[in-house]
Structure 1
Amino acid sequence: MLDPHHYVEALNLFGLLDRPEMVPAAVYRCCQLGPGALLEGVQREDGSEALERLSPEDLELCMETVPRLMRATVRVMMGLTDLVEARMSLVCAQQPDCVMPKTCVGGLAAMLGEWRDHMAYRVDTDALGTDFSEDVDTRVCRGAMCRVCGDVLRAAHRRFRREVWAALPRLTETDVKGWNSG
């Protein structure tokens, strides 16, 4: 994986090479940088004094993409909280696939509460982030949730992330033929 500050160089390079199929991922990654890095530029890979800067058009594209990515993150978070609530209902109804119903209900309720309490801190431009799955992994390892419930939650999170990935050209307003087809 590239150093985060190389994303600006990558976006510039993809423009020079006329590689529109690479632009959505580069714009996504640039949107993970702070406004200072986007506005002022980043240190170049070659270590020269000159900073790598986005073109005015790419800077505008990134600034327009940030709120769309934040909305995508909110949709993912809402989907995940709905999913945890639904899983709690299934476990409470004693669905046969959960192997620790009492523990899982408690673990799911705690997870839901923590995610809701800290929702404002989790809403950012990283709609493809893995925090939720990592949180589930931690809870499964600590015995606060069974592996079956963890697998259900992680699978749904992967599905939400795939949906965001598939929508990336639209979110970045980049015309890419055949995106996500292979």
Structure 2
Amino acid sequence: MTSREQPSRKRPRSEDASLKNSLSDSERETHEDLIFIRPMRPLSVEPDRDDKFWYKDGNVVLVAGNVAFRVYRGLLASQSTVLDDLCSADPAWHVDGCPVVHMSDRAEEVRSLLSVLINGKTYITKREVSFEDLAIWIRLAHKYRIADLLENSLRRPSLQSPHHSITAVNLARLTETSSILPLALYDCCQLPVETLLNGHTYPGGRVEKLSADDVQRCIQALSVLGVQRTLAIVKSMDLSACGYSCRFECADHVSAIKTELLEDLKSPGCRHPLCSWARFMGQYNRDMTSNVKNSAHPMCPRCIKTVIQSHGQVLLECWKNLPELLGIEVEGWATAQDA
């Protein structure tokens, strides 16, 4: 990670009150946890030393939950003015001669943050990163104002499981990254309604929930998504406009496939108009003898390509209108889809 261009100036304790009063409501809420509320006496039980981040020559001890991390104050200060301020406060107690700083974060979050701070940016770019780690980096980089880590983490692609979509929405809201919201909210619409309403429970008991407004957005979008899927099927499964005279019976077969798809819409959860049909239609390729479905409705490759292209145009229109469907504004969204 890059160091700050100028060394930080230590803020006298007497300035805490004036700084606190100058903050916005959201900033004040963040700083309550970080700077202005500190434990007044040592913990009754000495925390466990972390197996990974306990350096014998470290000069500050971070305590998160019941885990202690002995690291280097200069490293933390070079990454974050907020962490610098936190470490500059008069400590309530010491461990092995090192000042102790209480963190309001969970131990696994602090451990993940230290992993990237100590190993630098290459830790992000040269390894597979789990969504869980990425979410931690975004949250804590925002909280502790580590600008380069936040920027790199928001740009870092990460495969998501369906339940990660709730976290993705909340991270987009936290960091005001509106470009993430359409797809993240759309993915939330694919979750079971119970999860949408009550949130997802992670191992350890932490529950990630959408705000009431975002839950309402998703609930209102569900019926529209169902209509869009119906229209996508009807518009895409029409070979009459292509002007190609097929010597096979593809028109009859595509009509039969359309009927089956419309029947599938009666099943709960069928509301996904934005998925590609390339693999789906490939099952009906009469030239691929390994396909299990081509014996029932075999189609020639040219007609399959026509259907896939027609469906692609429908998807593009759905994608352009996604923010409006979800009741959000994303500047430049529609233009970006044409690029």
Larger radius of gyration: 2
1:169 maps to a residue whose letter is: P
- 1:57-72 map, 5 Å: 57-72=213-228
Kindly indicate whether the alpha-carbon contact (under 8 Å) linking 1:70 and 1:123 is maintained by their aligned counterparts in 2: no
**C-alpha deviation, 1:118, in angstroms:** 3.5
| Pick aligned residue for 1:26 from 184, 199, 220 | 184
Give the 3-state SS of the residue equivalent to 1:139 in structure 2. Answer: coil
Deviating beyond 6 angstroms after TM superposition, the runs of 4 or more aligned structure 1 residues are none
**Could you tell me the TM-score, scaled by structure 2's length?**
0.46
Amino acid at match of 2:257: M
1:136-180 deviation per Cα after TM superposition (whole angstroms, max 9, x unaligned): 211113551111111111111111111111110111111111003
**Residue 188 of structure 2 contacts residue 218 of structure 2 at CA under 8 Å; is this kept in 1?**
yes
Larger relative helix fraction: 1
CA 1:178 to 1:42, structure 2 compared with 1: closer, same or farther past 3 Å?
Answer: same
One-letter amino acid matched to 1:55: S
Higher relative contact order (CA 8 A, sep 6+): 1
Kept in 2: contact 1:69–1:124 (CA 8 A): no
Question: Of 134, 145, 149, which residue of structure 1 is paired with 2:279?
Answer: 134
Letter of the aligned partner of 2:192 in structure 1? G
Question: Alignment identity in percent?
Answer: 24
1:30 deviates by 0.3
**Which runs of 5 or more residues in structure 1 are unaligned?**
none
- Correspondence list, 1:70-89, <5 A: 70-81=226-237, 83-84=238-239, 86=240
Cα distance in 1 for residues equivalent to 2:211 and 2:263:
39
Gaps of 5+ in 2: 1-158
* TM-score under structure 1 length normalisation: 0.81
For the residues of structure 1 that align with 2:264 and 2:222, how far apart are their CA atoms? 20
Alignment match, 1:174: 328
Q: Per the alignment, do residues 117 and 11 of structure 1 end up closer, same or farther by CA in structure 2, a change over 3 Å counting?
A: closer
Amino acid at match of 2:260: E
Q: Counterpart of 1:73 in structure 2: which amino acid?
A: R
Q: Which residue of 2 aligns with 1:108?
A: 254
Spell out, residue by residue over 1:70-124, the C-alpha distance to the aligned partner (whole angstroms, 9 max, x if none). Answer: 222222122124x24x26x956xxx2xx3xx234244324323423444423873
Count of equivalent residues = 169
- Shift in Å, 1:135: 3.3
